[in-house]
Amino acid sequence: MTQLLGFNSNIVLDLDFMYKSSLAKDKLPDGLGYAYHDSNNWTVWKKLVENEGNTIEQDILNPHHFQAQTFVSHIRYASLGVKKLENTHPFVRELFDSEYVFAHSGHLRMYRAVELLEKYKPLGDTDSEEAFCMILEKLHKHRQLKNDAAKAKIIENIANELAQQGGVNFLLTDGKTVFVYYSGYKSLNYLVLKPPHTNDVICEDIDFKLTIKCKDKPVSFTLISSEPISVHENWQNFEPRKIHFFKEGIHMKGFQI
């Protein structure tokens, strides 16, 4: 089951995304959500899933078509926080005059540091959003650090602190750069694809299908997923407790952070 899914490209591409009826095969999720950035703005879609009859509402199964340079999807199975839209990922907040999107998998035994947060307060009651607010608070206090490598180091430090409280795998992005952290909880993987692309790329599991319209386009892009989801065999595991970041579809591992 792919709880976290991310996509980042060097150009805007047409994407087709759809949830599948088999999403309810074993257990219905509590919420579904995604956000996409078209190089200018974020669009966010969230939906609570009703737990009646173990079926998925038809409007959820309808195909979603959009253009995006960055895309983040999350399937929520609640561990902390009631079932409501405010607790559904991804979360969006403003930082440095940009909107940042955050989605998380794992469970944190939070030490409830909400009272220490000055600027960013959770709107819901999940450990995930609290972790998001803690990261934003730390970044805001280091607002003089503008480049991605400097931000990555700050994010890694706070993420390693959070990882002492449990599983913390997340995607954090302003639409241009995607920061990824893997604490060692379950799995998190990535795949970098470069031209030429002789066909569109189709990523599919039992829960969803994502079609990336990249045929014959000079595009580089990265996929990030809880589990490998395409026919390609070049998926790589993230190194635990290290921040990684991607920009314009490229893994920026050459940067010193």
| pLDDT tens-place string over residues 38-70 | 989 999 999 988 766 567 788 888 999 999 999
For residues 251 and 196, what is the distance between their CA atoms, to the nearest angstrom? 18
For residues 183-190, give the mean pLDDT.
Answer: 94
The full DSSP string for 191-221 is EEE-S--SS-EEEE-SSEEEEE--TT----E
Q: What is the pTM of this model?
A: 0.93
Confirm if 7 and 65 have CB atoms less than 8 A apart. Answer: no
115: pLDDT confidence band, cut at 50, 70 and 90? low
Lowest mean pLDDT among 67-71, 104-108, 113-117, 214-218: 113-117
Query: In this predicted structure, what is the pLDDT of residue 32?
Result: 94
Spatial distance between the Cα atoms of 218 and 208, rounded to a whole number of angstroms: 26
* Predicted confidence (pLDDT) per residue in 188-220, tens digit: 999 999 999 999 999 999 899 999 999 999 999
User: Among residues of the chain, what percentage have pLDDT more than 90?
Assistant: 64
Mean pLDDT of the chain: 89
The DSSP call for residue 166 is B
Question: What is the model's pLDDT at position 77?
Answer: 83
pLDDT value at residue 18: 95
Angle in degrees, CA 149, 73, 3, rounded to 5: 100
CATH of domain 4-251: 3.60.20.10
Q: Where in the chain are the domains?
A: 4-251
| Angle value at C-alpha 50, between 45 and 53, nearest 5 degrees | 140
